[in-house]
Structure 1
Amino acid sequence: MPAYLTIDDAPSGTLPEKLESLAARDVTAVFFCEGRRLDEHAAHAVAAVEAGHLLGNHADTHTHASDLSVEAFREEVARTDALLDDVYERAGVERPARLFRFPYGDRGGERADALQEVLADDGFVGPDAAAFAYDWYDDEHGGYRDWGWTLDVADWEVETPGAMRESVAAESERLASEPNDLLLFHDGGNTVAAFEAYLDALDAHGVALGDPRDLL
């Protein structure tokens, strides 16, 4: 089954080692970055761009959007986006697109439409929903400016590489199915060993990881 790897809560202090893991497996990912993490590890984000990965915006402080006013949300996005522009400039790479994922997948509740307008005004684009042959995904994400996901193995709850492999194995039937999937993983809070266990488990279950640029 083809799938696309997206990684939230970036960049972490262990991102350089994770970039090596991806390079060894010839995998390209989208890293959704928090502004507060870019403040601390901008050089790691630059290295990710130089290695050919995409960076997306994951807001500044990883706050539930439904807890923010429209203006506060706009500021969260704008601050992070300015940092991302700087990262791409430092890497000497033209930013291919503006990508956004809501923290916790929280689109803002009763302010959801207004927040989508903020993203539209700032030129953000979602993935091609037609790439994922799930009716529910098209219903929930088609036409929206943010990036959702179709498969989450709750990696933040997994404590060992062995448990990570078991979490992926629990989705083996799904992973063997025909539709493309948009995979969710997390940089912050995960060890390099857990990340490599995740990648190797996907490979063991026949998952071919595609280039997320194909979704733009």
Structure 2
Amino acid sequence: MTTSYLTVDDAPTETLPEKLAILEDHDVPALFFCEGRRLAEYPDHARQAVEAGYHIGNHAYSHQHASELSVDDVREEVAKTEALVEDVYADAGVTRPARLFRFPYGDKGGERADRFQEVLEAEEFTPPDPSRIEYDWDDENRDGDRDWYWTVSVEDWEADSRAELRDHVAAVDDRFDQPGDDVVLFHDGGNTPALFEAFLELLAERDVEFGDPLDLVN
């Protein structure tokens, strides 16, 4: 049996409170990677997530491809979002447990990737412990990097119904049959609460157990 660690990108949206209630009903921990522009619009929703015991990370400010940005652009995108994340934790009265970052689209920056990792290192971002998520195909791509990757994506942004989402989940069944744990990617932006709950139910049908993503922090 595998353990899945749920990470939710493009948060917070106007429906995040409903999704938090769904997570609570299903007893599933989660890590929300937040866009700065969305934090500016829905700070109270992010605060509600933190107060409920969930965690939020930095997903840059405007959700652009890093490979299309300069080092200074990425530094600003990260810093602006960091200030908003810090405000959320301060307003919630919760000590921030770790600084976590994920690149939008998983785009690590192409030819400037090493420079962008220097930006993340300077901001003291912490990646998931690679010894906990062992997949040889990805090891050399993430060795020493500070950003959060994922090992399972069901491409939920392309599913408009529970039936379509079921097909997407079935397409990655082999991942859940393999030994080892998974970092699972889903989205807040572009999803309804109904599809969010359907995803949790579809994984429960496969006896997937959920762990706290912070357990992956070394």
With the length of structure 1 as denominator, give the TM-score of the two structures. Answer: 0.98
Shift of 1:166: 2.1
1:176 deviation in Å? 2.2
Query: What is the match of residue 165 of structure 1?
Result: 166
What do the CA deviations read for 1:94-149 (whole angstroms, capped 9, x no partner)?
A: 00111000001111111100100000001111100111121123222121100000
Taking the TM superposition and a 5 Å limit, the aligned residue runs for 1:67-216 are 67-216=68-217
Query: What is the aligned residue count?
Result: 216
1:30-41 counterparts in 2 under 5 A? Answer: 30-41=31-42
Aligned partners of 1:175 and 1:13: how far apart in 2? 31
2: CA distance, partners of 1:3 / 1:33: 20
- Quick check: 1:126–1:146 contact (8 Å CA) kept in 2? yes
Identical positions, percent:
57
Q: Which residue matches 2:50? A: 49
SS of the equivalent of 2:131 reads helix
For 2:137 and 2:55, how far apart are their aligned partners in 1? 26
Give the counterpart letter for 1:69 in structure 2.
S
Measure how far apart 1:173 and its partner are: 2.5
Kept in 2: contact 1:162–1:197 (CA 8 A): no
- Preserved CA contact (<8 Å) 1:33 1:57: yes
The 3-state SS of whatever aligns with 1:75 is: helix
Residue aligned with 1:184, SS = strand
Deviation at 1:167, TM superposition (A): 1.3
- AA of the residue aligned to 1:146: D
Q: In structure 2, what residue type is equivalent to 1:190? A: N
CA distance in 1, matches of 2:204, 2:12: 24
| Counterpart residue type for residue 175 of structure 1 | F
Off by >2 Å, runs of 4+ in structure 1: none
Deviations 1:143-188 (A, max 9, x none): 1100000011100000012211221122223212211110000100
Q: 2:62 matched to which residue of 1?
A: 61
- Opposite residue 140 of structure 1, the aligned amino acid is N
* Structure 1 unpaired stretches of 5+: none
Structure 1: how far apart are the matches of 2:214 and 2:73? 30
CA distance in 1, matches of 2:190, 2:210: 22
